[in-house]
């Protein structure tokens, strides 16, 4: 294993940020590229590396030497999930062969913010193709372009999705930081299953422009890191308004320095709502969760039980919203690309492309794409009703009501169970998670390592009202500092009796 792969993300960042200049951006980038060369043939976590990365790192080192430091992350390498555009000579594929030539030459606003803060664009992370919206029988972490991402803790286990490569790469030390995207669980699940911190921000805090979409109501990008402090630093860089994304109109007024003031005693006296309705699908995860509750109480948190909540109607309404918005939003994105490089201009074109491309349908179909193609547009009364119902039930009548009735500052729950075995014939064996309420409401959701089940990491979720990222990061930081549950992956071949 390379030197860099042995360093946790936080350690690598500390070396770069140190006033003594213990490590250069160039060396950090060389180490990351070497780690990718070493481990990626097994993990399939990275689709492509940026040929400009070393030159960019050298330029940033020259700036530091001249006294210019752009941010606390100056010179730190970062991976972008490969549905996020960057101006580097890399296509943005969403894992699909239909976008293999999608070289746009554009920086998504989130990429522009990272670049301006002095981060090194290391490359593109693999993902569940089309962010896992093509089929209900999909294999998380599989894409036609990148293959199947493997969990670095146990290699025959899933890295979850859709930000699978972002999670596996940071966990394995291929990069200190990565950006994922989430519609429902696509940052928080792979973060938890890969032993990471992952933050899905409030929808509207981070721009979605030039990111291959699913849903303008639920999509957001966010950080995936080894520590809460690193996640806070990345969020500080990427948060902000974008005139091209109306959802972000309040972001400049809401954003702050999320890393400032993180406190080890932040749990003291804080009331937390224990979401018992998000337990029961994994008894071994529940046992780890019980230990986490004791740890929270030991840090002074006050716990209030919430035993029941019917999420079923929310899930049904969410499906109508996602399918309808997928058809419209994907057509809008495809229409912004070069037709000579991306001949597919609509969802119907993509469906036809997949039918004509055997590799795309080798392991599972596209029934979700086909269902979305039958939707009737953003003016459809059924869609408008489902959108209003879903937001109301998940937000005001969901998270907001639970917090108001309990007097709690945030909800806590297991993020999801341990990683399941990769099964190309039957697809994912997914148990359950706490992702849907914050995803549909558009509220923030932080996951922090809370332990493991037979060597497979599981995460603790902190879920709050809109714009409560600062609070959640502080609570997660206090829990992380008190427990230190994250362990380095062992790259085991399997787990068996």
**Can 186 be counted among the known catalytic residues?**
yes
Question: Which of 316, 310, 466 has the alpha carbon at shortest distance from 389?
Answer: 316
Catalytic residue among 186, 217, 282, 344: 186
The whole-angstrom separation of Cα 331 and Cα 276 is 40
The 3-state secondary structure of 322-365 reads: HHHHHHHHHHHHHHCCCCCCCCCCCHHHHHHHHHCCHHHHCCCC
Catalytic residue among 39, 81, 112, 124: 81
- Residue 162: asked if its preceding bond is cis (omega within 30°), the reply is yes
Contacts of 95 (CB under 8 A, 6+ apart): 47, 82, 83, 126, 127, 128, 129, 130, 142, 143, 144, 145, 146
**Can 81 be counted among the known catalytic residues?**
yes
- Angle at which helices 109-116 and 228-238 cross, to 10°: 110
Contact 9, 17 (CB under 8 A): no
Residue owning tokens 């522009």: 112
The 3-state secondary structure of 247-303 reads: HHCCHHHHCCCCCCCCCCCCCCCCEEEEEHHHCCCCHHHHHHHHHHHHHHHHCCCEE
Catalytic residue among 86, 143, 158, 162: 162
Question: Burial letters for 301-323: b for 16+ Cβ neighbours within 10 Å, e otherwise?
Answer: bbbeebeebebeebeebbbbbbb
Contact 92, 99 (CB under 8 A): yes
CA dist 170 to 7, 77, 151, Å? 10, 11, 11
386 CB-side CA count, 13 A: 22
Question: Burial letters for 197-222: b for 16+ Cβ neighbours within 10 Å, e otherwise?
Answer: bbbbbbbbbbbbbbbbbbbbbbbbbb
Angle at 342 between CA 50 and CA 98, to 5 degrees: 80
> Catalytic site residues?
81, 162, 186
């Amino acid at each position: 294993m390379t030197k860099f792969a042995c360093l946790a993300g936080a350690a690598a960042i500390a070396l770069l940020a140190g006033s003594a200049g213990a490590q250069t951006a160039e060396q950090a980038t060389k180490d990351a590229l070497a780690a990718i060369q070493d481990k990626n043939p097994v993990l399939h976590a990275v689709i492509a590396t940026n040929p400009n990365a070393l030159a960019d790192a050298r330029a940033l080192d020259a700036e530091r030497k001249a006294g210019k430091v752009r941010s606390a992350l100056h010179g730190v390498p970062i991976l972008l999930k490969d549905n996020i555009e960057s101006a580097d000579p890399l296509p943005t594929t969403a894992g699909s062969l239909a976008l293999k030539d999608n070289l746009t030459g554009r920086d998504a606003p989130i990429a522009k913010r990272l670049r301006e803060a002095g981060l090194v664009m290391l490359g593109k992370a693999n993902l569940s193709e089309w962010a896992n919206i093509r089929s209900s029988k999909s294999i998380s972490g599989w894409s036609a372009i990148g293959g199947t991402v493997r969990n670095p803790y146990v290699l025959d286990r899933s890295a979850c999705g859709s930000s699978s490569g972002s999670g596996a790469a940071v966990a394995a030390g291929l990069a200190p930081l990565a950006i994922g995207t989430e519609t429902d669980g696509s940052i928080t699940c792979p973060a938890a299953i890969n032993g990471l911190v992952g933050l899905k921000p409030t929808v509207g805090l981070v721009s979605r422009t030039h990111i291959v979409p699913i849903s303008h109501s639920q999509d957001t990008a966010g950080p995936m890191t080894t520590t809460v402090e690193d996640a806070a630093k990345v969020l500080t860089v990427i948060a902000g308004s974008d005139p091209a994304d109306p959802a972000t109109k309040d972001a400049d007024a809401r954003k702050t320095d999320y890393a400032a003031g993180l406190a080890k005693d932040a749990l003291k006296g804080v009331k937390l709502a224990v979401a018992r309705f998000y337990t029961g699908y994994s008894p071994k995860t529940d046992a780890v969760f019980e230990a986490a509750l004791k740890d929270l109480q030991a840090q002074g948190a006050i716990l209030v039980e919430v035993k029941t909540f019917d999420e079923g109607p929310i899930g049904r309404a969410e499906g109508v919203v996602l399918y309808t918005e997928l058809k419209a939003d994907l057509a809008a994105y495809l229409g912004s690309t070069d037709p000579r490089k991306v001949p597919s201009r609509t969802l119907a074109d993509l469906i036809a492309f997949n039918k004509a491309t055997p590799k795309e349908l080798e392991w599972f179909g596209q029934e979700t794409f086909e269902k979305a193609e039958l939707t009737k547009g953003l003016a459809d009364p059924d869609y408008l009703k489902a959108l209003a119902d879903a937001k109301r039930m998940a937000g005001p009548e969901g998270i907001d009501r639970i917090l108001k009735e309990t007097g709690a500052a945030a909800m806590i729950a297991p993020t999801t169970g341990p990683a399941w075995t990769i099964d190309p014939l039957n697809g994912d064996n997914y148990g359950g998670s706490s992702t849907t309420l914050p995803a549909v409401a558009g509220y923030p959701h932080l996951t922090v390592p809370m332990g493991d089940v037979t060597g497979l990491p599981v995460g603790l979720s902190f879920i709050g009202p809109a714009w409560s990222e600062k609070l959640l990061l502080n609570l997660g930081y206090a829990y992380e500092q008190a427990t230190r549950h994250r362990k380095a992956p062992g790259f085991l071949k399997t787990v068996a009796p």
